[in-house]
Amino acid sequence: MTLHRESEHGLRYVLSFEAAPAQLATVRQAVRGALGQWGAAAVAEEAELAVTELATNVIKHVGEGAAATLVLESVDDRLRVEVHDGSHAVPTVGSVGCDLECGRGLHLLSAMCLEWGTLLTATGKAVWCELSLEPARHCMRIQRAALVLDEYRRVVGASSMAAPARAVLEESVTDVIADLLHWLAAQGGDPDEALDRAQMHFEAEAEAA
């Protein structure tokens, strides 16, 4: 069963699967497809790796063929990844029954994710982790800018070039910004204030990246 829907705070995707090595490729493909639909393909590789580690943990410590459920949720600036299973045994680094390979998987989650942990449920547990969506947001901004610039160059009749020289690109970007400021002024807005805000946003996002 798969389910795409908007949750109270963001986007949510649910997939029931069988915890078996042969199913891991299908689960990874589902993760990549869901994130592609959400415009978050930039974090798909990390999410696939996290899901692989979580699903492998179910195979090793709950049992091959165990019923499991993947939940992806996009909330604010984070992607939350959960894998639910029917066992109440909580995995911890160095715990009894958690061998060296298991420990490496948990250490990998800890290093790769912003946070991770285990949540006990009425039917078992969910092991979860959270990834930053900032790389995806940065990528989306660049993609949107490229679309805007292509359309602008088409409207003004600029020559079509597969890979415009830097000077041509910078001139086109300057023209776009100038036209937007003219439009804003015609609407009664303050171009200087808009430029200051844009610069502040750009610097803050560049620093965060």
Q: Into how many domains does the chain fold?
A: 2
Residues 93 and 158 in one domain: no
Residues 86 and 145 in one domain: no
The domain that holds 91 is classified in CATH as 3.30.565.10
Number of other residues whose CB lies within 10 A of the CB of residue 189: 12
pLDDT of 3 reads 52
For 23, which DSSP code? G
| Helix, strand or coil, per DSSP, at residue 182 | helix
What pLDDT, in 10s, does the model give residues 22-65? 999 999 999 999 998 988 888 899 999 999 999 998 998 899 99
Residues 180 and 163 in one domain: yes
- For 100-166, the DSSP string reads HHHHHHHHHHHHHSSEEEEEE-SSSEEEEEEEE-HHHHHHHHHHHHHHHHHHHHHHHTPPP-SS--H
Residues 13 and 87 in one domain: yes
Which residue, 132, 147, 172, sits at the end of a domain? 132
What pLDDT, in 10s, does the model give residues 99-115? 444 445 666 777 778 88
Residues 105 and 41 in one domain: yes
**Residues near 64 by beta carbon (within 8 Å), at least 6 away in sequence:** 19, 20, 21
Residues 125 and 60 in one domain: yes
Cα–Cα distance for residue pair 42/106, rounded to 1 Å:
23
Mean per-residue pLDDT, 10-17: 91
Residues 189 and 124 in one domain: no
Residues 21 and 120 in one domain: yes
pLDDT category of residue 9 using cuts at 50, 70 and 90: low
pTM, to two decimals: 0.62
Residues 175 and 112 in one domain: no
Containing domain of residue 173, as a range? 136-208
By the 10 Å C-beta count (0-12 exposed, 13-18 middle, 19+ buried), 154 is classed as: exposed
Nearest residue to 72 (alpha-carbon basis) of 30, 110, 105, 112: 30
Residues 180 and 111 in one domain: no
Average pLDDT, the chain: 82
Across the beta sheet with 2-6, the strand order is 2-6, 10-19, 66-75, 78-85, 125-132, 115-120
Residues 38 and 79 in one domain: yes
